[in-house]
Amino acid sequence: MVVLHNAGLLGDVCPMSEQNPQVWQESCRSTLMPPLCSPRHCFLYYSNRTPVHWSLLHQALDVRDEPNWGAYAASKFATEGMMQVLADEYQQRLRVNCINPGGTRTAMRASAFPTEDPQKLKTPADIMPLYLWLMGDDSRRKTGMTFDAQPGRKPGISQ
């Protein structure tokens, strides 16, 4: 069984002191609750018969140098931390990894960087090979790791 957790809510792009607590809570809920609940439900359903691979999408490498990303940045850092804890706790029963897609041509990206030329960004289809490899048998010994879909790409607006 393969699970891809690809939830995220940009929230307010403003200084932390101006962040709306309700938006912050929703951003963290959409990003952090599935990693908390999913392994339990997977194991109850599969009763240890089937190895489970679970990939968490996170953008932490792109937000580290971006001020004003508050809830989004915090939730993505927390996602990577949860991945590491889950990998340690479940070891062979659950493969869990993070994928940093990098700047990708999506609606969320366009709302975060409205002046960016989307043609300079990779499409989701362009970075799909990493997802397919990570969810396939060739990566079965990989767990507790973060993979960059666009290694070497600099954070921020594409130039």
Higher pLDDT, 134 or 57: 134
**Mean pLDDT for the chain overall:** 83
pTM of the entire predicted model: 0.84
Q: Which residue has the higher pLDDT, 97 or 34?
A: 97
Predicted pLDDT at 115: 94
User: How many other C-beta atoms are found inside a 10 Å radius of the C-beta of residue 107?
Assistant: 8
Tell me the pLDDT band of 31, cut-offs 50, 70 and 90.
confident
pLDDT value of position 17: 94
What token pair was written down for 18?
């101006």
Beta bridge partners of 147: 99
Averaged pLDDT for residues 108-133: 93
For residue 64, name the pLDDT band (cuts at 50, 70, 90).
Answer: low
Cross-sheet strand order for the sheet of 94-100: 2-5, 52-57, 94-100, 146-148
Query: Is 18 buried (19+), middle (13-18) or exposed (0-12) by CB count in 10 A?
Result: exposed
More confident residue, 61 or 127: 127
Q: What tokens were used for 150?
A: 């666009």
Task: Name the active-site residue from 45, 72, 90, 131.
Answer: 72
Domains contained in the chain, CATH given = 2-148 (3.40.50.720)
Is 72 a known active-site residue?
yes
What pLDDT is attached to residue 127? 94
* Averaged pLDDT, 45-61: 63
